[in-house]
A and B are shown apart, each in its own frame.
Chain A
């Protein structure tokens, strides 16, 4: 999958076990292969370094920020951390992972945060990627990709992977191949 646009917010969302984390880790791996530094702001402390390493991510070029295991204020801390990283600059990809966050907490995110982030990444070589179970960034996202699982792949009793489809809900990037169906 090609890199998402620089200087803008992109959003990847999908339901549980849809394959969105796999897409994210492949994006991180390709950024790392280009020599870029990446940052993951992990609101639920769910990031798996082993999966990222297997996807090709150079973990030494990854800044992993865990917003904490306690549920209280973790969204607030995650947004503050993402803001600090964006304003520090120099990262090729910054991921704000909001998967598994309860809907009640997601609904409390003010829209002004997204406007602030959009201004922070504008005209920078940074791509801000927001992941969640549902669309959150609304008008501030330049690209919105929905990931839909088609089926789980089993070989006998062994789980092998996820077959999923990427549906661009909002995309101002030219996509060479309109067929975005991927076998994860």
Chain B
């Protein structure tokens, strides 16, 4: 037996709370409507009438104005609760009789089907139930069969039981404040192992003493040791400020990565291994020194930003230009002693200039707080190298070398 509570003006959470207080099998059917099983309540409360009275009393205590229907089938109970005021009890095998007076437009069917029934002169569920079953199903297919069974009170479906959302969140209070990293990682490892269980995650939030730190992963990770190692690098790079008394781990689940490798596609770095390698490289060399460069849309020399490297990057067709030299930067530029004669540089750091081309004047970003303005020269020195020197703010710099 199932009970359906219909209260369109009430909070869904209140309805679910009332339903859950009677049964663990609760269906969150629609806004303002819940259905729950009352099987087994007979021994606790009594007859269906007494159960209905108890549910109604509980609802009244919560300040809910609702319709209540009890039936052997959830769909029958749902129709009755939606369209009969107050408490409705439908004994088994009396469904067609009780629902018969309802108009056909209450059925869950599309407007065309209802209009067809209307044209046939079928106005109520009782009239629908009286139609020949095979002919009706032959015309209207699966939907026709469903509404026919509903009109006859012959549906027998199971509840879509509401389950609490999975919680990927664990917290542990330590008995003694922990200052060392290794025992702390042991605690974090046990929490991760408990949470992960072969599922994939793309974000982890670690709270030490309620101070959060979040790591995002470009591809789903399903191995706890990969996350643990990255947390270790992060903790080593940014150690906590005080001894740890509480550890909290929160994971964000995501769809597992499915990848079909091609026989003739060049090998790419394995994502899990790559993430660990990138974390290790960042720990070794510092942030901003590992990644993929992305050129900025500006004329400012050496303008790029370092983006996170990802082996998922799709190949993009690049049109090469016929370059005949490459450049190597000195970062930061080296201050140089340049001797100038007749407005042309003649030596750099006491080395005579064999050939000089320039000046190439450039400026930009004058509308920002970091304007730049310089004049460049390409100079061939007596050591054989071809360098780029520039003058900015009355000072000379060696920017790099052509190679």
Contacts and interface: CB of A to CB of B under 8 A. Distances in A.
Interface of A: 15-22, 24-25, 29, 32-37, 45-69, 77, 80-81, 84-85, 87-92, 99-100, 125, 149, 152-154, 157-162, 183-184
A16 B384 contact: yes
A17 B384 contact: yes
Given A48-B328, A61-B315, A63-B290, A89 B273 contact: yes
A48 B307 CA distance: 15
Contacts of B240: none
Contacts of B276: 88
Contacts of B371: none
CB-based closest 3 A-B pairs: A161-B324, A56-B320, A90-B269
Contacts of A21: 326-328, 403
A37 B357 contact: no
A80 B284 contact: yes
Contacts of A85: 277, 281
A67 B403 contact: no
Nearest to A90: B269
23 contacts: A17-B403, A33-B318, A46-B328, A46-B331, A48-B326, A49-B304, A50-B327, A53-B318, A55-B323, A56-B320, A59-B295, A62-B293, A64-B293, A65-B290, A66-B285, A84-B284, A88-B269, A90-B270, A91-B269, A154-B357, A157-B358, A161-B323, A162-B403
A68 B285 contact: yes
Size category of the B interface is 35 or more
Contact of B402 (A68, A84, A162): A162
Interface in B343-396: 355, 357-358, 378, 380, 383-386
Given A17-B401, A22-B326, A35-B315, A59 B292 contact: yes
B132 interface: no
B266 A22 contact: no
Nearest to B313: A60
B interface majority secondary structure = mixed
A67 B285 contact: yes
A37 B269 contact: yes
B267 A125 contact: yes
A128 to B, nearest CB: 15
A106 B74 CA distance: 81
B330 A46 contact: yes
A56 B63 CA distance: 71
Nearest to A76: B284
